[in-house]
Structure 1
Amino acid sequence: MASIYSVSQVNSYIKNMFVQDFALSRITVRGEVSNCKYHSSGHIYFTLKDKGGTLAAVMFAGQRRTGLRFQMQEGQQVVVTGAVDVYERDGRYELYAKKIEPDGQGGLFERFVRLRGELEEMGMFSPEYKQPIPKYAMQVGVVTAPTGAAIQDIINITSRRNPYVQLVLYPALVQGDGAAESIVAGIHALDELGLDVMIVGRGGGSIEDLWAFNEEIVARAIFECHTPVISAVGHETDVTIADYVADLRAPTPSAAAELAVFDYRQFEEQRMLYERNLVRAMGRRMERLRYQMEQCRLRLRFHDPERQIREKRQLLFNIEERLGQVMEQRMQAAKHRLALSGGRLHGLSPLAKISGGFGFVTYGPGKRLESVRKVQEGDEIEVRVSDGKLTAQVTGTEEAGMPGGSE
């Protein structure tokens, strides 16, 4: 009976054959880079291909530091030096690269570089044409395959960040024949809906898988789109023409959802923080205004017209009282002076003289008779006494000191 071997034994035997083969232990292979992935550990996983086949390859982080002097990209033509060995667990052979050197560029990559240069000369990559991504988008359009991992990632991220955001999916072909036309139709259809922002992309793949996003018609559709566009094609290391033309590039579809959909929980927390700060600020302002109002009230009370009127009335009363006192004093003084003057005048009054037995003699039209020479014999005179007057006729005159005069 023939021997029966386990899978591990077979893989180990094959591995041993590869190890013993001198040609495979030090081999140089030329091919086009495809499915290039830079792992977080520092390893690089890629595939070398030509028209006849493909060869899986890997360069570990330790070899990368000395064996790779450039950034590998999809479609590059490279020369890889290393060893072909079997990975026993999976039973597949790989090229373990020790040194990688560029050897020209593959056909697709040459097309990529040429179209990128042409569109750049047209100004389609210029920053001044980039539209800002709205901070609080509520309607987000998505142009991608309806069953791929990309749309699931976008839905999951959106549901977690903001369940109130509406996603509008245009199910498009993202690779193969007619993919570019399908993507363009999706961009035009969603642009007519007037959405807040649009995500255009797909999951990772080789340069051939992503080539639809390198077509000129897709680039022009994104450039002419009125809705801000976020490109999300492949993985972080995958770069397409759509990434250059889009208003914003996201490294992955998940990252595109993060950029397009604002975090509602964080928004609410920030809003509540602003509300609390606003309430505190308003409270402090109200306190200041109350204090200012109290100060104004006190000043108004000090300058109160009614209070001023009362003060003026009191001042007027005091002035009036003082004026009355001054007038009374002046009246008393005037009365006293008048009394003194009246007394002196009374002492000089003819009536006072008359009351003492004297009379006041007038002649003619009430003229005082001061001399005997003023009258002649036969003239009438009047004599005023204390209780009336007498009318008399001059019967004779005699000058004093001149005896013997006529009577």
Structure 2
Amino acid sequence: MKEQSYTVSQVNRYLAQLFSEDFSLRSLTVSGEISNLKYHPSGHIYFTLKDAASQLSAVLFAGERAGLTFTLENGRRVLVSGRIGVYQRGGSYQLYAMRIRPDGIGELYLRFEELKRELSEMGMFDPLYKKPIPRYAQRIGIVTAKSGAAVRDIIQIAKRRNPYVELWLFPALVQGEHAAESIAEGIETLDRMGLDVLIVGRGGGSIEDLWAFNERVVAEAVFNADTPVISAVGHETDTTICDFAADLRAPTPSAAAELAVFDLRALLQELTERRERLDSEMLTRIFDQRQRLGYLRQRLSRENPSAVLRQERQRLDHIGERLRGQLSTALERSRQRLLRYPAFSEWMARRLERSRNALSLRAERLEAVSPLRKLSAGYAYLQDAEGRRVDSVDSVAAGELLRISLRDGDIRSRVESVEKMTKGGGA
């Protein structure tokens, strides 16, 4: 009897039919870690799901990528929903993915990033809206669990730094169902009390433990509060939405207490040092002003108008005495010179007599040539109508008016005729 045989294609088709008829394999969700990730130019995504003991090939066709809300990466844990089928050409079975979502923490992280991006676009994290933390807060509100390391650390540090500060606690739920609403209620309640600053937070934990501080209701309560808010959630490496919305982020609740409560002893020490510096500066200034005052007094005494006037009077007296002495000396010297010339008066008299004789001689000479003397002897002085002297018949014409000046007066006459003397002496 001939043994029956099947082709490879027949076997693969048979297996594919078996897989398709198995209800459990038609719709299931597989969890695993992504490896061998490949984005194909066709738009398909090929990858392998693996765990500690095994692996499974998977593919997400381009038509199913619309529901993918995050980027696939090697090493990322995911939940893949789809069906198991046979790839007949390759003779292998694989997971045909219909939906892929982060597994566990990855899903929370995705929600965190989505809300962070949304609130950031709304401007809730903008530094423009951050309020300054008061340096000397007296009344501090705390929103946290009523029992736990966070509130104990805050109270302990507050007492150590400033035992006179007032602490107001709102015992909120910080984990589990309704925790976000409880935290938001605490922020709103303490904000209405008009406190100086609020501390909102809790101790460390997993991302699930801290998730209440990643809810929108808490971020909105922090952002809308009129009181400055310090966020102190978890450890230094933990970051929540509340941290971004707050006016200041503290790495731990203890650090938040250090930031909110001023150190009274340090303040008193600073005040003491400032007072000492102020006293020293004041003493230095007083000494300098006293020195300057003494200098101004001396200068005022030197430049006082009365003192200056007295000095000027003394100077004038000295000048007057010096001038009187010089004048007296000059007169005495002149008198002595005159005494050395006893015939000076006689010499002056003779000099005056000689001057008088010379003057008389010059007067007689002037008298001899005086026109008045010639007129007294019968001579006359002729002038034409314009007052010009007439000294020749050539300058006179018949009918012209002449003025004749004699010794005792003037005669006005008109020329009847002009006769010029000939060289022989006749007319």
| TM-score range normalised by the length of the shorter chain | 0.5 to 0.7
Cα separation, 2, equivalents of 1:206 and 1:331: 125
Match runs of 1:40-189 below 5 Å = 77=77, 106-189=106-189
Cα separation, 1, equivalents of 2:192 and 2:103: 46
Q: Deviations over 1:364-407 (max 9, x none)?
A: xxxxxxxxxxxxxxxxxxxxxxxxxxxxxxxxxxxxxxxxxxxx
Letter in 2 for 1:113: E
Letter in 1 for 2:106: G
Higher relative contact order (CA 8 A, sep 6+): 1
Q: Deviations over 1:233-270 (max 9, x none)?
A: 12222221101111111121111101111111112222
- What residue in structure 2 maps to residue 289 of structure 1? 289
Contact 2:204–2:235 under 8 Å retained in 1 = yes
1:78–1:135 CA distance, 2 compared to 1 (3 A): farther
- What residue in structure 2 maps to residue 252 of structure 1? 252
Contact 2:205–2:234 under 8 Å retained in 1 = yes
Q: CA deviation at 1:103?
A: 7.2
Q: CA deviation at 1:232?
A: 0.8
Using the TM superposition, name which of 298-307 and 160-169 deviates more: 298-307
Contact 2:105–2:207 under 8 Å retained in 1 = no
Q: Deviations over 1:108-165 (max 9, x none)?
A: 2222121111112222222222222222222211111222221111110000011122
SS of 1:207's equivalent in the other structure is coil
Q: CA deviation at 1:330?
A: 8.1
SS of 2:310's equivalent in the other structure is helix
Contact 2:146–2:172 under 8 Å retained in 1 = yes
TM-score normalized with structure 1 length: 0.54
Cα separation, 2, equivalents of 1:106 and 1:293: 80
- What residue in structure 1 maps to residue 372 of structure 2? none
Cα separation, 1, equivalents of 2:151 and 2:288: 55
Letter in 2 for 1:209: D
Residue ranges of structure 2 left out of the alignment (5+ in a row): 1-30, 34-72, 80-101, 350-427
Match runs of 1:342-381 below 5 Å = none
SS of 2:160's equivalent in the other structure is helix
- What residue in structure 2 maps to residue 234 of structure 1? 234
- What residue in structure 2 maps to residue 403 of structure 1? none
Q: CA deviation at 1:220?
A: 1.0
Q: Deviations over 1:254-311 (max 9, x none)?
A: 1110111111111222222222222222233333333333332332232122321221
Cα separation, 1, equivalents of 2:325 and 2:154: 102
Match runs of 1:4-19 below 5 Å = none
Q: How well do the aligned residues superpose, as a CA RMSD in angstroms?
A: 3.5
Q: CA deviation at 1:336?
A: 10
SS of 1:106's equivalent in the other structure is helix
Cα separation, 2, equivalents of 1:191 and 1:266: 29
SS of 1:116's equivalent in the other structure is helix
Letter in 2 for 1:319: I
Q: Which has the larger radius of gyration?
A: 2
SS of 1:167's equivalent in the other structure is strand
1:280–1:77 CA distance, 2 compared to 1 (3 A): farther
Letter in 1 for 2:153: D
Contact 2:236–2:251 under 8 Å retained in 1 = yes
Cα separation, 2, equivalents of 1:109 and 1:331: 124
- What residue in structure 1 maps to residue 214 of structure 2? 214
Q: CA deviation at 1:201?
A: 0.8
1:167–1:180 CA distance, 2 compared to 1 (3 A): same
Cα separation, 2, equivalents of 1:242 and 1:216: 9
Residue ranges of structure 1 left out of the alignment (5+ in a row): 1-28, 32-69, 80-101, 349-407
Letter in 2 for 1:269: Q
Q: CA deviation at 1:207?
A: 2.4
TM-score normalized with structure 2 length: 0.52
Cα separation, 1, equivalents of 2:275 and 2:306: 45
Letter in 2 for 1:252: T
Using the TM superposition, name which of 210-219 and 299-308 deviates more: 299-308
Contact 2:232–2:251 under 8 Å retained in 1 = yes
Letter in 2 for 1:206: S
Q: CA deviation at 1:194?
A: 2.2
Aligned length: 254
Q: Deviations over 1:155-180 (max 9, x none)?
A: 10000011122112222222223222
1:194–1:335 CA distance, 2 compared to 1 (3 A): farther
